[in-house]
Amino acid sequence: MRSLCLLMVLLLLAGCSMSPEQRVEREKALKASVEAFNSNAVNGLWNEIYKVSTGDFKDPDALKDHLTQPWNQDAPLVDGMVASMAWMDDGLAKVKVNWLFQKGSVQSFSSETFVWIWKGGKWRYAGRSLR
């Protein structure tokens, strides 16, 4: 009986995990989502960013306030680059983004780690990560 229960648990777990091909596709989708997120942030397209969020923010303005609060307000955001991605499980990832701000010849940087959740067949921005 005990071995039967163990076998059932193993079969259940095996059915829940992704194949290597599925994982590669999900990784590509995450990279594309984060790159679009970064580009939209640089261009101030808050409605577009809101569309890829989990919907936990009241509206695009609330999301903008959430994202821009720690940013250097004196210098415009000119780029966002993915520094690293870490899988937590099949539906949760942390992505570190390096933001570049520039005013004249002076550049400044900020690094943030964001949580992305696989929801509804797409990656969704969920907020900042506590490191």
CATH of the domain at 59: 3.10.450.100
Tell me the mean pLDDT in the region 119-131.
90
Residue-wise pLDDT for 84-115, tens only, equals 999 899 899 999 999 999 999 999 999 999 99
Residue 59 lies in a domain: yes
84 residue type, one letter: S
CA dihedral 42, 47, 53, 55 (to 10 degrees): 150
Arithmetic mean of pLDDT over the chain: 88
pLDDT computed for residue 17 by the predictor: 74
Residue 2 lies in a domain: no
Residue 60 lies in a domain: yes
Residue 86 lies in a domain: yes
Entry pTM? 0.82
| Better-predicted residue by pLDDT, 13 or 33 | 33
User: What's the rounded Cα separation, in Å, for the pair 42 and 30?
Assistant: 18
User: What's the rounded Cα separation, in Å, for the pair 125 and 116?
Assistant: 5
Domain total for the chain?
1
The yes-or-no verdict on residue 3 having pLDDT over 90 is no
Q: Contact, 115 vs 97, CB < 8 A?
A: no
Residue 5 lies in a domain: no
Residue-wise pLDDT for 34-76, tens only, equals 999 999 999 999 999 999 999 999 999 999 999 999 898 889 9
Q: Which two tokens stand for residue 90?
A: 């099949």
pLDDT computed for residue 131 by the predictor: 60
Write out the residue range of the structural domain in which residue 36 sits. Answer: 22-128
Residue 1 lies in a domain: no
pLDDT computed for residue 14 by the predictor: 45
Tell me the mean pLDDT in the region 2-9.
45
Residue 11 lies in a domain: no
Residue 16 lies in a domain: no
